[in-house]
Structure 1
């Protein structure tokens, strides 16, 4: 018996990184997964690997309401219902506050904040129709503390924590739990774009990353996407049946403070 047997979960940003690991883990735990992303080749390949009885891929620009409606239609046609949502899709832009163009700020808001809003707005009625369910929103540890050069990103992630709390209050009576994961640095292409550069030696990249986070993080390393996936699984499964409205930090102790050693 898996922890998500017979459950149908929509996961955004599922073609790679945290979303891919969530999709793989959820499928291994018995869920049928609907993978949403704009990286069509990678998303379709992952769905094919997981198998038609387990997964479907749908092109999903999370900032577009029509795409969300299409994703819901795909999920219901393939699997009959929706029991869970993981709002994982997001983008990251580094810039000083006064140097951030309005267009860049709005782009991050559209994907990170509006995407999570539209996901909940569109999928929650389906969760209610299924008799209840779960939402896991991907925020960030920067939602709870500051970090230079991340005005737009931190603003959207703080908004996600706020929406999570409000949604949890509104939906508890309908059998729907809403929580947020707040990762610190995680070794994915979003935080480490060098992974996508074919001219860069992966071993050199890994060594450089290790050196940075050995100094910054109490646990001495960057996080792994599969570790975040396990937290998302916990919040989606019945193991967290009495938890809602909470932001869960998963950062190797980074938020705890600064080491002088």
Structure 2
């Protein structure tokens, strides 16, 4: 894939984020233009973005429950990057993953919004047998901290020093060996869309959604349709045909 320029979104998009996010939320209140596929009951964990807790993802989780999924919050409160060693924090998140898998006996779908998608991808790498797929929403896993408008908050929450060194950034850009989808918007006002795009492969696919704000990713009807289609797919393994079929149905 051609290397993309990693730059922050235009300032005007960042300034309009609150208004556009409100529009995305209002759009989510309207009746669906077409029925969403019902799920098969498999478990799903939803990870929130930087600086917010599971309260921010509650609307998405409720909608997925209505589609017949066993949906879980990440159970770690406000997401402000771990105050411990990164792999130690992943071990903590793994405890919930293992517990839910033990109770349900089925692979788990992981959905992460923004920074939360980083955890979803890393858990998929360390526990591929427990993970059905990883879906990230506006997650800049291939980005640099200074290529987002959230970089200052990220640094502030970590004592004025960015916790992202070059080795960690390279690690985060590597895709899991399980089905993985990055949903991104070119009009994202917080993170640069180019940092949300990975190399397409047997396991990884990028899906663009138009005119969606960063904060509105959790509410926008088109994003919900994409997520619902991906969760409803039963095949676990090679992802190319699966995702091509999914996108064709959405068009």
| TM score, norm. by length of structure 2 | 0.46
Higher relative contact order (CA 8 A, sep 6+): 2
* Greater helix proportion: 1
Structure 1 or 2, whichever has the larger Rg, is 1
| TM score, norm. by length of structure 1 | 0.44
